[in-house]
Amino acid sequence: MLEELARIAPEADLESLAPAGDLRDELDIDSMDHLNLMIALHRRLGVEIPERDYPRLLSLDAAVAYLRTRGA
């Protein structure tokens, strides 16, 4: 997850990322960057992430929990 976040927001300080914070606010990314993150996670992990579930992956904690339930 962190490697893909680093690709999406290379200037971001991922070590100071609040685990429960909204990734869009924490990393100053827009909706297109968030979509690119969903695509990157799908490619890397082989996990289908339906568009309706994108809001469930708005924080680092939530994304990791979601991906774990999907077998990643």
| Cβ neighbours, 10 Å, residue 44 | 13
Confidence of residue 71 (pLDDT cuts 50, 70, 90): confident
| Fold category of 2-10+18-69 in CATH | 1.10.1200
Say how many C-beta atoms besides its own lie within 10 A of residue 49's C-beta: 20
pTM of the predicted protein model: 0.86
pLDDT tier at 72, thresholds 50, 70, 90: low
- For the chain, the structural domain boundaries read 2-10+18-69
Question: Residues 2-61: pLDDT tens digits?
Answer: 999 999 999 999 999 999 999 999 999 999 999 999 999 999 999 999 999 999 999 999
